[in-house]
Structure 1
Amino acid sequence: MGTKPSYLSKWNKTKIIVGAPKLAAHVPETRIMSRSSLLAMLNRYGMVYVKPDIGHQGVGVMKAEKLRKGYLVHYGTVRQRFGTFDGAYKWIEKNRRRRVYLVQRGIRMIRLGGRPVDFRVMIQRNEKRNWEVTGTLARMAHPGKPVTNGSQGGTIYSSRPLLNKVAGSSRGAAILRQFRELAYRSAYRLAGSYPKLNELGLDVALDTNKRSWILEINTGPDAKPFVLLDDQSIIRRIVKLAKRYGRHYDLTIRKAKKG
């Protein structure tokens, strides 16, 4: 087995991104997960996400919370309560299966119908090899799951109407512009270390104060959710540019739902 490219590591990408002050302000504190780092982060923030350093489509992501009495871990549709930190940690350790995991400050995302919502921003190299934001969409988590990914049964919405609903039309437009700016800054920053990158998918959250946070940057983003948008010119543009640099997507919708 060959060594996996270093850009697949969420930790490597995080270290590069936080080196740029205008991006660092939008990145939740992230550490390599260990017993001590998990405990420290839970004590500091009350809620964290633990996730594989190398992974995709929300597979293996867990949410951990410190309660008034004990701890709660949410993985898939399973919610497990523990009286002690050690109990919670041992359960997480068992389920991470010796993979390297990260622990990230949990962001209290905006919600619709009690379900968390975040956003995917797609940015690609265009015909002139310049970066171009080709699409944005909103994702609402499957009921009972801590992640919003379409591959995990999330519901896909157009970004602008949803932002207008939660923030008003003027603020919604400004937030969307900031999402795009974060995508361009991230692309230029990462391309400085990985010049052969052709596409990125940013997972961006809005907290309850409408502050933007970059949760993750995917170097091999899934284009499937864009198929569910009413504006089909978006997925056509994404596919067209991808073909130019040799990427061909599987666009078969299996679990994602149209909002």
Structure 2
Amino acid sequence: MKSNRVAVLSKWTKTKVLLQNKSIKPFIPDTRKFNMNNLRTMIHQYKMVYVKPECGTHGKGVIRAEMIDEYSYKYQINENILKFKTFSEFHKSLVKQIKKRRYLIQKGIHLLKQNHRRFDIRVMVQVNPKGRWETTGIIGRLGHARKIVTNYHSEGKPMSIESLLHNHLSRSQQTQLHKKLSSLGIQIASHLSKTYPKFRQIGVDIGLDKTITPQIIEVNTQPDPYIFNQLKDKSMYRRVMSCRRATVKK
């Protein structure tokens, strides 16, 4: 049954919908509901995972959890780092942080860095005046030096992706990646709109590691267009707002 809602808060729901598409599925990191068995399996398999609220926003409550060695673990929330000598203590402390809220565990992405600060990419996709999905903006988000999330509300800095990728990719490689991200964004929006036909814009958060393989961190159904206004070049912001205004008029 199709929904008429214009926002879906549950990351789990959005992930399940996206996993139905065979072309998108390879870009989705392993994601499971938080429980002790899933935590044990994933932390031992991947060594680093993100534990995050199923319905959270602005990076609030996101935890980066790591296996230090065979016997010890640690996690970071905000700027606080806690270490544990047993899995039992590690799990117990996480449960205390989470309380009764619904959380997910996602395979960790070792994000590319600039000046020792992690960054990821936001891909803005909107319905244009012709009624077609279009990637209207792609922007980098440079995280705060002491924090694990990159968004603007957590003191992340919006930047052009060229300025963040110049130490990692040649210009031609950047062009190829830009096309890939643009295409992937449209693909994601088109697929989601089959289930949620009233969507008019989405923001796809993409992580890149050393392999430069795009990995979908999450999809926002109420993306903030104003981060594009932080760039010196306002052309992308004008394009985003033009599509936004055209959609509102309809």
- Same fold per superposition (TM over 0.5): yes
Where relative contact order (Cα < 8 A, 6+ residues apart) is larger, the structure is 2
Alpha-carbon separation, structure 1, partners of 2:139 and 2:120: 9
Matched residues in 2 for 1:128 and 1:8: separation? 28
In the alignment, structure 1 residue 112 sits paired with structure 2 residue 114: yes
Letter in 2 for 1:213: Q
1:134 corresponds to: 136
2:53 is aligned with 1:52 = yes
Q: Which residue of 178, 187, 190 corresponds with 1:188?
A: 190
Give the 3-state SS of the residue equivalent to 2:144 in structure 1: coil
Q: CA RMSD in A?
A: 1.6
SS in 2 for 1:124: strand
Aligned to 2:174: 172
The residue type paired with residue 40 of structure 1 is T
Contact 1:164 1:171 in 2 (8 A): no
Superposed CA offset, 1:33-54 (max 9, x none): 1111111100110000011111
Q: CA deviation at 1:241?
A: 2.1
Q: Distance in 1 between matches of 2:17 and 2:7?
A: 12
* 1:142-157 correspondence runs (5 A): 142-157=144-159
Once the two structures are superposed, what CA deviation does each residue of 1:125-149 show, in whole Å capped at 9, x if it has no partner? 1112211111111111101111111
Asked if 1:242 corresponds to 2:210, the answer is no
- Residue of structure 1 aligned with 2:232, choices 214, 230, 233: 230
Letter in 2 for 1:74: Q
Q: Please name the residue that 2:211 is paired with.
A: 209
Bigger mean CA deviation after superposition, 5-14 or 71-80: 5-14
2:22 is matched with 21
Match for 2:202: what amino acid?
L
Structure 1 SS opposite 2:100: coil
Q: Quick one: distance in 2 between partners of 1:46 and 1:32?
A: 17
Task: Assess if the C-alpha contact under 8 Å between 1:163 and 1:169 holds in 2.
Answer: no
- Note closer, same or farther for the CA distance 1:93–1:6 as it changes in structure 2 (3 Å cut): farther
Flag the 1:5–1:87 CA change in 2: closer, same or farther, 3 A: farther
Q: TM-score, normalised by structure 1?
A: 0.90
Answer whether contact 1:51 1:102 (CA < 8 A) is retained. yes
Using the aligned pairs only, state the percent identity: 34
Q: Distance in 2 between matches of 1:75 and 1:155?
A: 19
Q: Is the 8 A contact 2:128 2:247 kept in 1?
A: no
Q: 2:103 aligns with which of 101, 104, 108?
A: 101
Q: Which runs of 5+ in 2 are unaligned?
A: none
Amino acid at match of 1:57: H
Q: String of CA shifts for 1:82-141, please: whole Å, max 9, x gaps.
A: 111122222221222311111000011111111111100001111122111111111111
Out of 63, 88, 107, the residue aligned to residue 90 of structure 2 is 88
Q: Where do 1:29-44 residues align within 5 Å?
A: 29-44=30-45
The alignment covers a number of residue pairs equal to 244
TM-score by length of 2: 0.93
Secondary structure of 2:188 counterpart: helix
Partner of 1:120: helix, strand, or coil? Answer: strand
Q: Does 1:71 align with 2:73?
A: yes
Whether the 8 Å CA contact 2:114–2:164 is kept in 1: the answer is no
After TM superposition, the runs of 4+ consecutive aligned structure 1 residues lying more than 4 A away are: none
